[in-house]
Structure 1
């Protein structure tokens, strides 16, 4: 993997885009084949039944969550190791309203696998969004789009027909649901936290942002490489069980006064038009420069918020933050695809 050394973080040597190797089945290959062949039709049937039929029926939030747990249970995802900052085991009911994401809050989640979106939907029934590294606005997507996006190539700018909105407006439009943001903008193998998208700074000062880390054991059900459907399904369905390690940090909020103490933060609607970078008037070669310009437009409090979320995700996942982002993964995918064809 020396040819991919340029995609290692210079400080830590972490390579967040390389796929996690699977352990050889060895003498258990017949058993793994049996599990795969038995589970695949069940998973496909359950997936299509929910997304083509059940989600459109008036079965309520509880019915939808139960259906999603059936999908999670088919591949053997039955053990959830949940820890919440500041909450002792057995006392969650006493802190439920303050320590867990709820309506009107934001979930800033790590992004390593299509299971991320499925699990978050089964627990919180949220609104899913797509973040981009060069704009503060997000694009609302459905659950199935969030799942499939884990297999998609990284995007550094939104499609021409994308409807972008800031998070504060999205919360007003959906007051009964939490909002899920994947601030890294693309998937990793879970070994590092990428650069944060600025989308989180469009929250209001009263909105709670909960960093949430999801890690898997075995770790080979991550999907850092696009279009890895076959490998993912084999790793997911051929193993007897999988464990999800969920860590939820204490909420963070955007400071009311974040301009070095000299004034209050303007609301999202008070932003100047230049705050959201216009991609379509700019060449791709200038994308890196646009990131610098966007970062310079953020206040000290907004930069602190993004740093707090990144540090919390790294601490929860017991990994480090890396100086790589979606733009770097684009270059990695090009090199990876070329090497695979050869």
Structure 2
């Protein structure tokens, strides 16, 4: 195992790319597991084909499509979903709808399994996107592609840059849409939060960004390694039940205040106008009021393209990352997409 030590985070010793082993089971349960798999896999395949090939293209009500998506989630045994929202007591969620993602907001979700996208689609019906480590723009994708992305090998650069768009521009296309972003850019086993893509920095400063963490018990239905479609389907369908734990943090904004999106006279609410006491901390980037919102200076886009982030940009990404780590009861790690690409090469060679 020494050759895998380089894929453990040095500070925490967490290995976010290792597949989670399946809990041992008695041989007496094998026939039952086989029956579960045969019945559920057949029904799951029929529902999946029916939805993605027919139902999603028909002019049916959103409630009907959501029912089909919930059926796809329930057939494999994901029957228990524990949802908690920061700042909302249990049983009071109906009176705190502003704490949930709504039209015109962004979801920054953890990424561990194809079920992540399926659950978000069943609840929020968002526009899914794919993020890349070296660009602030995202690629709009379908729900089906978002699910397949969980099995896809990681990549540093987009295959077609003409399809990239900023989050702010994507919001302008459909102001009533919820946008789902997977800022880690690739899947993990749920035991750590990877460094983020800078794509969240292209969001409008007044748009709410909701960190959403999804965890599973047992955690062996995560897909940190590309491929393995049949083994994942077996693990998903052969066990009697699975449980999902969903946590939603309070909204974060892509601006200095982080937790406020209202601007008055060019200065965010709660932030005093006048001199900035920390103006010398980041001399390469300045912020200036223009109209009713903060606009970055002309020099910052050049620096951003070169991979240099301002102190405020790093603060936004750190805030979302810390919220996801807190919600998932895990820690942030220093391993990213490049390290996973190298891990997949070593792991595939071992399998061969």
Q: Which residue of 1 aligns with 2:25?
A: 25
Deviation at 1:25, TM superposition (A): 2.7
Report the equivalent of 2:57.
56
Q: Distance in 1 between matches of 2:310 and 2:15?
A: 31
Alignment check: 8 A CA contact 2:287 2:295 kept: no
Deviation at 1:62, TM superposition (A): 1.2
RMSD: 1.8
Aligned to 1:73: 74
Contact 1:25–1:32 (Cα < 8 Å) also in 2: no
The alignment status of 1:321 with 2:350, answered yes or no, reads no
Structure 1 match to 2:85: 84
What is the CA-CA distance between 1:204 and the residue it aligns to?
1.2
- C-alpha distance in 2 between matches for 1:173 and 1:160: 20
1:263 to 263, 272, 287: 287
Deviations 1:292-334 (A, max 9, x none): x41x2x2222110000000000000000000010111000001
Which TM-score applies when normalising by structure 2? 0.88
| Structure showing the higher helix proportion among its residues | 1
Is the contact made by 1:16 and 1:192 (CA closer than 8 Å) also made in structure 2? yes
Kindly indicate whether the alpha-carbon contact (under 8 Å) linking 2:137 and 2:202 is maintained by their aligned counterparts in 1: yes
Offset at residue 252 of structure 1 (A) = 0.5
Deviations 1:256-291 (A, max 9, x none): 5799566334369x78764664xxxxxxxxxxxxxx
The separation in 2 between residues aligned to 1:65 and 1:267, in whole angstroms, is: 40
Stretches of 4+ aligned residues off by more than 6 angstroms? 270-273
Q: Which runs of 5+ in 1 are unaligned?
A: 278-292
State the match for 2:178 in structure 1: 178
Mapped to 2, the partners of 1:275 and 1:152 lie a distance apart of 31
Could you tell me whether the CA contact under 8 Å between 2:287 and 2:296 is conserved in 1?
A: no
CA distance in structure 2 between the partners assigned to 1:231 and 1:183 by the alignment: 26
Q: What is the CA-CA distance between 1:86 and the residue it aligns to? A: 0.3
Give the Cα separation in 1 of the matches to 2:68 and 2:115.
14
Give me the whole-angstrom Cα distance separating, in 1, the residues matched to 2:160 and 2:287.
36
1:44 CA drift (Å)? 0.5
1:116-161 deviations in whole A, cap 9, x for unaligned? 0000000000000000010000000000000000000001100036
Range with bigger deviation, 25-34 or 331-340: 25-34
Give the total of aligned pairs: 322
Question: Are the counterparts in 1 of residues 101 and 210 from structure 2 also a CA contact under 8 Å?
Answer: yes
Q: Secondary structure at the match of 2:295?
A: coil
On the 8 A contact 1:204/1:267 being kept in 2, the answer is no
Q: Take 2:315 and 2:74, find their aligned partners in 1: how far apart are those partners?
A: 39
**Structure 2 counterpart SS, 1:212:** strand
Instruction: Tell me the distance in 2 between the aligned counterparts of 1:275 and 1:263.
Output: 14
Quote the Cα distance in structure 2 between the aligned partners of 1:267 and 1:231.
48
C-alpha displacement of 1:60: 2.1
In structure 2, distance between residues paired with 1:183 and 1:220: 22
- SS of the residue aligned with 2:121? helix
Structure 1 residue aligned with 2:38: 37
When Rg is computed on C-alpha atoms for both structures, the one with the higher figure is 2
Distance 1:103 1:329 in 2: 34
Unaligned runs of 5+ in 2: 257-266, 269-275, 280-285, 289-293
Residues 154, 329 of structure 1: 8 Å contact kept:
yes
Per-residue displacement from partner, 1:75-95 (whole Å, max 9, x unpaired)?
011111011000001111111
Paired residues for 1:202-281 under 5 Å: 202-255=202-255, 263-264=287-288, 265-266=294-295, 274=302, 277=305
